[in-house]
Amino acid sequence: MSTFQAPKGTYDLTPPRSATFLAVREAIAAPLRDSGYGYIETPGFENVELFARGVGESTDIVTKEMYTLTTKGGDQLALRPEGTASVLRAALEANLHKAGNLPVKLWYSGSYYRYERPQAGRYRHFSQVGAEAIGTEDPVLDAELIILADQAYRSLGLRQFRILLNSLGDKECRPVYREALQTFLRDLDLDEETRRRIEINPLRVLDDKRADVQKQLTDAPKLRDYLCDACKAYHEEVRALLTAAGVVYEDDEKLVRGLDYYTRTTFEFVHDGLGSQSAVGGGGRYDGLSEMIGGPELPSVGWALGVDRTVLALEAEGIELDLPYTTSVYAVPLGEEARRVLFGVVTGLRRAGIAADFAFGGRGLKGAMKSANRSGARYALVAGERDLAEGVVQLKDMESGEQSAVPLTEVAAELAKRLG
């Protein structure tokens, strides 16, 4: 074993499990690509101020969980704790919103970092696939994104997830609710840190998971009672569109999510098989975020789904994805001349789009055939001196055990036919 190990709270993805993570990323991305979302990639670190302004100074992410560093030039940087602020910053910097085709629809995939207490389903480095629709205020867009996430999860075979839905109001009606909530919260028996949060972002207190806090929140004013007519109508349309699409959701009036930038529609995907870390993804509308980070007014909506959490959800439901074998053909040479010839055959097969591997290291027939079995290859190509003298290779069906001689010049065509 190496002297070094992965840092605490992180993990390595190695075969064969890594194939499941790749399949999950692909399943989440596929509906997005089919719906006009283009791929975007941003740096793994950004200016600290981007997250302080965008995510919110009062959030746990900014106050406790960001990995920050000072460069040799004195710049304050942070490893990205979430994707939305970075993607919006990149879209603004590239002037994508000025290209004349709004909304700007983007999807991304990558690693994110938060300094948290490691536990099952919660790591300091984690993987997400996300989507953002920038520059348009339209309940159809909110519904589209929720439907696409639902579609992605169902394509993986997941059934035991729930969609929680709420509206957080807008800049017209939320301040009125905020004041009513602050008045209520100030009279409760809360610790100093929570009292500080009341003054900065009281909605986050509703998200407190501690039982003694939740008990005191029973009679807290309800946001839905303070929504203005425009926000009520907007939310009703999102709900109606989801219902019409056959997407089942639950209204959750306490759902606020952990980021300060959300307005109106907010939602979360939860899976009850994951214990306390039940959220597998979520998102919402963030109409004011562009202005918070120095951009123009660009109403937007998006989500991020955790790849790690989704894999745990699959395991909780006992779902094994039907993953294709990475190798279709495995070549086993017997002797130096066969090594040269068969390696040429393998190279030709790869160029023809057939996944092929090779018995490296000059092993004997028994050891090489064991490797062929482990590779999951459907066919093995075996050749020795006598085969080469006759201009053939032995093609073995690894499932049936049947073996036949195939002319060297016809190997690629024969395999293409058999593999379809």
Handedness of CA 126, 130, 135, 140 (dihedral sign): negative
Closest CA to 356 of 373, 381, 334, 335: 381
Grade residue 66 by pLDDT with cuts at 50, 70 and 90: confident
DSSP assignment string, 206-234: HT---HHHHHHTTTPPPGGGG--HHHHHH
CATH 3.40.50.800 fits 329-419, yes or no: yes
Specify the range with the lowest mean pLDDT, choosing from 217-231, 238-252, 369-383: 217-231
Rounded to an integer, the average pLDDT of 105-113 is 96
The Cα–Cα gap between 368 and 378 comes to 15
Residue range 17-173+227-316 forms a domain whose CATH class is: alpha beta
Sequence-separated (6 or more) residues with CB below 8 Å from residue 406: 392, 393, 394, 395, 414
Q: Which amino acid is at 317?
A: E
Strands 161-167 and 250-251, by their bridges, are parallel
Grade residue 414 by pLDDT with cuts at 50, 70 and 90: very high
State the maximum Cα–Cα separation within the chain, in Å, rounded to a whole number: 93
Instruction: With a cut of 70, say whether residue 249 has pLDDT above it.
Output: yes
Q: What ranges do the domains of the chain cover? A: 17-173+227-316, 329-419
Q: What does the pLDDT look like over 76-86, one tens digit per residue?
A: 999 999 999 99
Instruction: With a cut of 60, say whether residue 374 has pLDDT above it.
Output: yes
Q: What does the pLDDT look like over 309-318, one tens digit per residue?
A: 999 999 999 9
What per-residue confidence (pLDDT) applies to 1?
Answer: 63
Grade residue 57 by pLDDT with cuts at 50, 70 and 90: low
Rounded to an integer, the average pLDDT of 113-129 is 85
What per-residue confidence (pLDDT) applies to 218?
Answer: 85
